Chains A and B, each alone.
Chain A
Amino acid sequence: MLINTLLISSQIPNLNYSSTTERFDQTWEAPLATLLGLGRAAGADFVEFFLERRNYISCLAEEDIITSISPSFSTGAGVRVFHGKADCYVSTNNLTFAGLKAALEKALSILGLQLPIANAFIPEIYLELFRDYGNKRGKDSWLPLCTTIREMGEILLEGTAQLHKKATHIQSRRASYFRDWQEVLVAASDGTFARDIRLTQSAGFSLLCADGSHRTSISERAGNTSDPNFLKSWDYEQSADQIAESAGKMLYADYVESGNYPIVMANHFGGVIFHEACGHLLETTQIERKTTPFADKKGEKIAHESLTAWDEGRSDNAFGTIDMDDEGMPAQRTLLIEKGVLKNFLADRTGSMRTGHPRTGSGRRQNYTFAAASRMRNTYIAPGAYTNEDLFASIDKGIYCKKMGGGSVGATGQFNFSVDEAYLIENGKVTKPLKGATLIGEAKEIMNKISLCSQDLELAPGFCGSVSGSIYTTVGQPHIKVDSITVGGR
């Protein structure tokens, strides 16, 4: 254990730290080192503090009016204490030294531990040289460079005006945007001491069209981390074109006839299939819960040999990009599956401790009220050797899933997801539009049925909800062919 100068516990109430909640900087070293030492002196095996500051704003345009501008601020901290196999997580809004100490004390007491008695020596933990990802890539100046409220409004209104121009039978049209700026600081009793700044932004459209009893609703969203100018460079004209075209085709679509079909799934958000059917099952959280069929399959073939998949911390400005995870570890590029063989799991600190798989910089959480857990970042199926024409040509009768909705995976590996825009494939050709399709299946089975991967990899932003809350992720893939899947419809 790394030990600094010794304090006496009775001195602690008189300590006067000057750390500020205006910025998480090196002034936090002394108070956090003291608190970590207190936790260790109480008998904890490991202690971690996660501090967070957030500045969020969302904006909504409906028809030709800005109807909502919602700023919000939050600050908070979570302390996690491990003792034996048990761990305890306590969160608080109070970032004063006394507030953090009270949270630590509560976590210790829950685990049956107590702060040292008066006049006991307190080992102060030596923290590593401050790793400040927040001063890289100009992050410290990101927030003031972001779009102003006035600019947000103007751009969104131009967007809804485009929808008005491009779409027909409009019942409602909306454009929305959010900017989520987050500063985090992690300090732990193993010496971890790191700061990061994240900037996540997203803009999108939703369009509802109706003609008599025919109705269709379509949404489209773009996302970005790292570019304060994202909204200004958002190509809302192209996005409006696409969504208007989709709505036009789907308005009069027939309901899909249920059954088992071969399908082609488009690139971009089509990657949700891998996210739901396999990605979640490669998180060590699932091994701990014994809810993954792949727990003991490392090194074994679990998917078709055409399938290689990655989960990476940094993919340019993609929606799940992080420089470090929420446990202070630099984000890794993790090969999940190579030519069908399972290579790695995604592990956070606890998952690594409990399952033995190495940490991958995947410890993530929605905010300070959640303990970190193993989660995906930018996850995608790698490009293959085929063309889209090859994929369609291999199907006599099937479904082309051009635009996917959301999905989920259950405790037994059963997954499902909805299709927002689908077409019938007949004799290798895409023909009439279809609506109302849901795809369901078993993770173990479907991975062996992804038989052809095209070359046109594209990533798409997504929101993933799981044990540590809702986080920003990327899904992605090239066009792929699934040999057979159950399609629910009417």
Chain B
Amino acid sequence: MSNIQQVAKNAQETAKKLGIEKFDIYGSTVDDTSVQVDQGEPKQVKASNRSGVTVRVWNEENTMGVTSTTDVDPKGLELALQTAYEASFFGVKENVPDFSPEATLPIESTSKDKFAQAPVSELIDKLLLAEKELLDSHPAINGVPYNGLSQRDIERFYLNSNGALRKESHSLASIYLYSKTEQEGKKPRSAGAYRVKENLGNLDIAGCIKEAADKTISHLDYQKVKTGRYEVVFSPEAFLSLLGAFSNLFNAQNILDNQSLSQVDDLGKQIASPLLSVYDDALHPANVGAETFDGEGTPTRQIKLIEKGILTSFLHSAGTAKRLNAQPTGNASIGAKVTISPNFYHVFAANTTEKEFSLQTAENVILIDDLQALHAGVKALQGSFSLPFDGWLVNKGEKISIDSATVAGDFLELLKSIVYIEKEPELTPGGVCPRIWVGELSITGD
């Protein structure tokens, strides 16, 4: 992307030419490279450098329009500003979005280091080695059909006509390995693992290989599970994916739009087991891709969503905060309609329990490792879910892989049915969370 100051200058000049006095711009540039391999050979290498901005324009009647573009040269910006201006006359007349009151507040430590990208040949070599080690880890593993090693530099900025100007950049490196087995007379089985870090040098490739191998091998011997109600243990990733699917619980915009399981006056209510605390914590030290401001320029921060089972806060944009007499929380993305999303969940045990739960001693519990097809099986506005999963039936520490089953329930009931939260947190792409034990859920198998 052109120099951000240059974009700001171009925007100011173009806006002046068009008679636009009030506008803001959020933009980003992503420079990434990724490789895939197949049976010892490089398969595909991808590289891209792409930019995009979203501009919002307020007209003389103070209604707002928006336009996005990938063309950030003066001509592209002019078209975007002009189109946004034209669209502004069709904008909402009530609760018109406005600049965040926090867009100009100072932010500490606004910039992370970008790391020099490794040569593509190094990415290919590391991934070929990872594939080989995974294939060598068990004779039944005959392929790693989904794999990738990538590195990415991200630059982002926010500016507005009131003088706000924020920018930051960071780097990410990530690997995923998804292996598959083939054994005579048995169904193919598969499992995978993912790791992310700031740079390739620190990326835990060995851990990713081991996790993918261990999980895949653990599914080799499988059985149908009897349909019924079981105590269920969610892996950190599975619990966070479900929490994410029902994030309308905390989303102030969804609440105002009647598109949420929560209502405005639910703050202070016990919605979960007293064992559970959930924070949204963009700046958590484990959040590799931490961003210090949102799409409205509001600084990100830690938000206590659930404390000891009590709903304590919602996630806000500048607009919802104004309407609900709260503070913006740094979770907004700009558009004609500002959207809100969580940054990085931190789930932990709020209280200790008298009884310790352990997979070494528990009998006939279902350990869910990975939930699938959340886009289809979650009814986010009804609160219900019915989802296929990968997992095991665990009996006093012995794990038997489950063949083709679904788990179903009501998310609000699930939150209240949490009976134990383990102590050891795990880092996942969506946040930090330990394993979560839930009283009883419906499992459909045989």
Contacts and interface: CB of A to CB of B under 8 A. Distances in A.
B373 A408 contact: yes
Contacts of B190: 410-412
B51 interface: yes
A418 B146 contact: no
Contacts of A111: 45
Interface in B184-200: 187-190
Contact of A405 (B69, B336, B376): B376
Interface in B308-360: 335-337
Nearest to A91: B48
A191 interface: no
Nearest to A92: B49
Contact of B68 (A71, A216, A290, A437): A71
Contacts of A258: 227, 406, 408, 442, 444
A455 interface: no
A301 B366 CA distance: 38
Given A86-B41, A215-B381, A486-B404, A149 B50 contact: no
B120 A489 contact: no
B145 A289 contact: yes
Residue of B50, B143, B444 with most partner-chain A CB within 10 A: B444
B323 to A, nearest CB: 14
A153 B92 CA distance: 12
B299 to A, nearest CB: 26
Given A70-B335, A73-B80, A172-B259, A438 B406 contact: yes
Contacts of B74: none
Contacts of A271: none
Contact of A62 (B47, B86, B257): B257
A487 interface: yes
A208 B388 contact: no
A92 B31 CA distance: 10
B47 A208 contact: no
Contacts of B90: 66, 69, 149-150, 153
A73 B67 contact: yes
Contacts of A291: 145, 180
Contact of B67 (A71, A293, A411): A71
A168 to B, nearest CB: 15
A318 B304 CA distance: 47
B384 A436 contact: yes
B376 A416 contact: yes
A220 interface: no
B7 interface: no
Contacts of A107: 47
Contacts of A60: 336-337
Interface string A67-107: 11111111110000000011111111100000000000011
Nearest to B181: A412
A433 B409 CA distance: 18
B43 interface: yes
B119 to A, nearest CB: 9
Nearest to B379: A217
Contacts of A72: 67-69
Interface residues of B, number: 72
B400 to A, nearest CB: 18
B70 interface: yes
A303 B65 CA distance: 52
B79 interface: yes
A290 B143 contact: yes
A414 interface: yes
Interface residues on A, range: 35 or more
Contacts of A472: none
Given A171-B258, A172-B259, A490 B408 contact: yes
Contacts of A412: 180, 187-190
A215 B383 contact: yes
Nearest to A72: B68
Contacts, number: 218
Nearest to A54: B70
B361 to A, nearest CB: 28
A442 B404 contact: yes
A416 B50 contact: no
Interface in B354-402: 372-373, 375-377, 379, 381-384, 386-388
A412 B143 CA distance: 12
Nearest to A444: B187
B207 interface: no
A438 B385 CA distance: 9
A171 B90 CA distance: 25
Q: Which of B33, B70, B80, B143 has the most CB of A within 10 A?
A: B70
A93 B90 CA distance: 30
Given A258-B444, A411-B190, A414-B388, A438 B70 contact: no
A171 B255 CA distance: 11
Nearest to A441: B404
Contacts of B444: 258-259, 486-489
A106 B404 contact: no
Contact of B442 (A369, A437, A489): A489
A75 B79 CA distance: 13
A488 B408 contact: yes
A465 to B, nearest CB: 8
A129 interface: no
B155 interface: no
Given A411-B178, A438-B388, A488-B386, A85 B408 contact: no
A490 B228 CA distance: 9
A199 B165 CA distance: 38
A229 B51 CA distance: 33
B42 interface: yes
Interface in B124-175: 142-143, 145-146
A86 B45 contact: yes
Contacts of B92: 65-67
B83 interface: yes
Nearest to A89: B46
A110 B376 contact: no
A313 interface: no
B71 interface: yes
Contacts of B376: 405-408, 416-418, 438
Contacts of B405: 440, 488
7 contacts: A67-B92, A110-B47, A289-B146, A291-B145, A369-B50, A486-B444, A487-B444
The 9 lowest CB-CB distance pairs between A and B, nearest first, are: A488-B406, A72-B68, A258-B444, A406-B376, A289-B145, A68-B337, A68-B336, A488-B444, A91-B48
Interface of A: 60, 62, 65-76, 85-93, 106-107, 110-112, 149-150, 153, 171-172, 208, 215-217, 255, 258-259, 288-291, 293, 369, 371, 405-408, 410-414, 416-418, 435-438, 440-442, 486-490
Given A68-B336, A70-B335, A86-B41, 4 more contacts: A70-B68, A90-B48, A290-B180, A436-B408
